[in-house]
Amino acid sequence: MPGDEVAIQASGLTKCFGSLRAVDSLDLTVKRRQVYGFLGPNGSGKSTAIRMLCGLLTPTAGDIEVLGLRIPEQAEQLRYHIGYMTQQFSLFSDLTVRENLEFLAAIHGLESRNSRKRVEQLLQEYQLEERQRQLAGTLSGGQRQRLALAGSVLHQPELLFLDEPTSAVDPESRRDFWEKLFELADEGTTILVSSHYMDEAERCHRLAVLDHGRLVADGSPAELTGGLEGRTFEVHAQEPRRVRQKLLQIAGVISAAQIGMNLRVLCDDSGVDLQQWQQSLEGAGLEAQIEPTAPSLEDVFVAVTSKPAQKPEAVS
C-alpha cells in the first residue's frame, strides 16, 4: 500500500486490445508534489497508461492505486480529485472563454459565489481577462492551451494528468506553460505529463521512458544521463556523411547523428576502442577528431528504444 507521500502506485499494469499489448506489465510509483514525465515514441503506450491511471480505461491486468483510491473500482470518487488535459482541445469552441470556465465550475459543483471568484482568479492568472468574451474556437494555440489548463485546475485537483499538452503550440507558449506547471507543483499539485520533447523531459523531477508498452528506463534526468557516462562522443570531420557511414559499421555504435558539421555518436555498453575507430577511419581515407561529450536525455531515449523492449531494473 502506498504511503501518504505516494500519489500513484501501479503494479503489473497491462492493457490489451485484441492481440495488441498496448501497455505491458508497467510498474510505476509517482510521489506527491512531483512533476513526473512520461517519455516515449508515438504508439509507446503513454496515453493508454494515463487513461487507465485516471480511471477512464479498464486495465486487462494489474493493480492501480491513485491518491489512496483503488482504480477502476473507485474511479468515480477519484474524478473529484484529479484534472485531465488531453492533447486535443476538449472545451467548447462555440462558448466564450468565460462560459467554458463557468460551465466547468457547474460540472464540478462549485457554489455560485465560489464559482465566480474562482473564474475571475483563473482569468487573471492565465492571462485570459481580455479574451473572456471571445469564442474559444477563435483563440490562438497558446491561448487555447492556457484555457484548457485553467479548466483542468478549476476545481483545484490534487493530481493533474497532462497528455502531450504542448504538441501544438510555439516554443514561447511551451515555456510559459511549464512555468505554470511548476507554480502548481509548488502549491502542492502532483503532475504527470507525457511528452516527446527532450527539453520538456529535462524539466521533470523524474521520468519514465516507455517503448512498445514497456517501461525501459525510470529515474531522474541526472540519473538517466549518468547511466550513459563514457558512451557518448562528438566527432569533428570535414566529411561528416562519409564518417558517419563508416562509424555505423563499427560494432557497438548505436547511432551517429549529424549536427551541423559534427556528429554525435552513441555506443552500447560493450566498451569503446577509440583507437580502433581512428584506424577504421584512416583506413578509409577519412580524418576526424573524436572527443567524449556529456550524455543527454536524447541519448538516453535512443539507447533504451533502439533495442528490443525489455524490463530493466528501475533506478532507485
Domain boundaries, the chain: 230-294
Q: Angle at the Cα of 47 (from 14 to 212), degrees rounded to 5? A: 55
Q: Is 145 exposed, middle or buried (0-12, 13-18, 19+ CB in 10 A)?
A: buried
Mean per-residue pLDDT pooled into runs of 10, the chain (316 residues): 78 97 96 94 91 96 97 95 86 94 91 90 94 94 91 95 84 88 95 90 94 95 95 96 95 94 94 91 94 95 72 37
pLDDT of residue 315: 36
pLDDT of residue 138: 94
254 and 267 in contact (C-beta within 8 Å)? yes
Q: Rounded distance, CA 29 to CA 36, Å? A: 10
pLDDT of residue 37: 96
Among 34, 82, 20, which residue's Cα sits nearest to residue 208?
Answer: 34
pLDDT of residue 308: 43
CA 260 to chain CA centroid, Å, is 27
pLDDT tens track for 193-247: 998 888 889 999 999 999 999 999 999 999 999 999 999 999 999 999 999 999 9
pLDDT of residue 191: 97
Q: What is the pTM of this model?
A: 0.87
Sign (positive or negative) of CA dihedral 3, 209, 309, 292: negative
pLDDT of residue 307: 56
Q: Which residue has the cell 489512496?
A: 68
Which CATH number is 230-294's, of 3.30.70.20, 3.40.50.1370, 3.30.70.100, 3.40.50.620?
3.30.70.100
In angstroms, the Cα distances linking 179 to 5, 79, 87, 200 are 23, 25, 18, 11
pLDDT of residue 1: 39
- Tally the C-alpha atoms within 13 A of residue 222's C-alpha that lie toward its C-beta: 2
pLDDT of residue 314: 37
Secondary structure (DSSP) of 44-91: SSHHHHHHHHTTSS--SEEEEEETTEEETTTHHHHTTTEEEE-SS--S
pLDDT of residue 111: 85
